[in-house]
A = this chain, B = another copy of it.
């Protein structure tokens, strides 16, 4: 079984010392969420994750999901674990109390979700997607739709799914063909095939609420003719009981490299009954409510998997003895030193550690803006929060999954040959986590979203707001001796990001290929800058508490490592992006 220790101490540090969530005690969602209560909830959540989900992780990988014409069987133990989860009310932490949720802040929910991902990513996807479907209905559904579907989705007795991809179209949704034919009763008949539908069928819930993109007969071509439909597996009677089985069936499962415990379904809709949600032909807007939430969730997977992979690499590195420290035996009474004594092993562990802690801060910081967006009484704060959520979503999704994968691969490397065998969990972590760079919009699509849409929105208001916030922080702390390396690092990162932004504004508009060519490195530079800011915030909090607990001294060391060993990559990304599209696009297609 993999090792896992829930990072509760890290959570407390972020809530209390870095984000100061107690400041928001008067805000909706926070009024009943004292720090003590949050800690209590998360300690219970940690128990659920480590005691219930972790033991199922490896078996879920080996056993996988089983398809038959009657449905899909999830791996042994998943049903019981799901039941335990529902009974504990876990996935409803931050859902709307009007429909049975607990109404806690998002920033609490992300910590719980991190633990679920770390202990069982494949399992966690079932409730994860349900929460996304809940949000789409919550935002765009009619009162009746909300009343019909949300209570059972908040309790997770029913699941939700997200149906976009068709065999010939994934990223380019404008090509989609699934059709919706209006019926006299106001419903639609939905016909088409959707692929890669996570949890499209399973044996965990009594009903599944599919959210399906389709084109109403006669609708315009392209993305402007796409509508969103609620297509329940079982139709729901007016009294709330389950009615007829809808003609929405899983006709097969994908064989995948990882996340075997999650059913990736081919869904066949044959004149299935569907109900329009939101406006006709504007289905993408609503799907993006779900998609944006899913993207943050995928970014979280990058962190959660990197964290658990790191923890297992640490356990191995402390246990495995090979060779001697270069500076003389560390454990002379043993036949060899633990490999954690070797600098190159440390390098891989510290790379992961400084990433995980920075990424977690970045996620929590953004999640707090998610709470402010919904609940702040101050319109200016809500505007800034909305700007930040839009701007940071592609960065969190792509940077955290891409960098996370790098550390997950390093965690295998720390294991040496053992890591490549299936006796250790490193292989499963690598195989499971690799999808996160791909789904919910590939990381390349995120980068394009960042440079093509998010930067330019409202005349660049979001990015300038971010720059101003960083500048203000620098001004506040410049000259503080102990903060100096962090301020210097942040200044350098921000300066380079600004330079990259200017380059994009000057060169990306006149030749869009320049923007596309720069997008990946720009996003990486953005991620490094965001982490520099997070490390500066964390250093400030740690310095304020220095001496109280070795935790704070160690935090400073880890932050200094980030400055030494990760930040130098920023200049390489800037140099690359400024070379533009020329050499990248020059080769004729037939020369590949």
Contact = CB atoms under 8 A, between A and B. Distances in A.
A456 interface: no
Given A326-B512, A344-B444, A561-B583, A409 B416 contact: no
A576 interface: yes
A394 to B, nearest CB: 13
B576 A565 contact: yes
A422 B175 contact: no
Contacts of A165: 417
Contacts of A389: none
Contact of A170 (B322, B349, B587): B322
A124 to B, nearest CB: 17
Contacts of A322: 169-172, 175
A256 B581 contact: no
Interface stretch (A22-30, A186-194, A550-558): A550-558
B583 A560 contact: yes
B564 A576 contact: yes
A435 interface: yes
Which of A321, A344, A421 is most buried by chain B, counting CB atoms within 10 A of its CB? A344
A20 interface: no
A550 B343 contact: no
A203 interface: no
Nearest to A165: B417
A contact patch SS: helix
A122 to B, nearest CB: 13
B349 A257 contact: no
A495 interface: no
Interface string A490-505: 0000000000000000
B342 A516 contact: yes
A314 interface: yes
A582 to B, nearest CB: 8
Contacts of A254: 421, 423
A345 B175 CA distance: 20
A254 B419 CA distance: 12
A420 B438 contact: yes
A488 interface: no
Interface stretch (A87-95, A231-239, A426-434): A426-434
A282 to B, nearest CB: 20
A14 interface: no
A413 interface: yes
A478 interface: no
Contacts of A345: 444
Nearest to A442: B416
Contact of A434 (B256, B323, B327, B420): B420
Interface in A284-328: 314, 317-318, 321-323, 325-327
Contact of A417 (B420, B431, B438, B582): B438
A212 interface: no
B422 A512 contact: no
Contacts of A338: 589
A520 B255 contact: no
Interface string A558-592: 10110111001101100110010111111111011
Interface in A426-473: 427, 430-431, 434-435, 437-439, 442-444, 447-448
A345 B431 CA distance: 22
Contact of A438 (B419, B563, B591, B592): B419
A348 to B, nearest CB: 8
Interface string A334-373: 0110101011111111100100000000000000000000
Pairs of residues from A and B, 9 with the lowest C-beta to C-beta distance, nearest first? A343-B516, A326-B512, A568-B575, A344-B444, A564-B579, A172-B322, A257-B427, A561-B583, A255-B422
Given A347-B517, A412-B438, A563-B583, 18 more contacts: A172-B323, A172-B336, A175-B335, A326-B512, A327-B513, A344-B444, A344-B520, A345-B444, A405-B409, A412-B434, A413-B438, A420-B434, A554-B588, A557-B583, A557-B591, A564-B579, A568-B571, A568-B572
6 contacts: A344-B447, A416-B442, A430-B434, A565-B576, A568-B572, A572-B572
Interface of A: 165, 169-172, 174-175, 196, 254-258, 314, 317-318, 321-323, 325-327, 335-336, 338, 340, 342-350, 353, 405, 409, 412-413, 416-417, 419-423, 427, 430-431, 434-435, 437-439, 442-444, 447-448, 511-513, 515-517, 519-520, 550, 554, 557-558, 560-561, 563-565, 568-569, 571-572, 575-576, 579, 581-589, 591-592
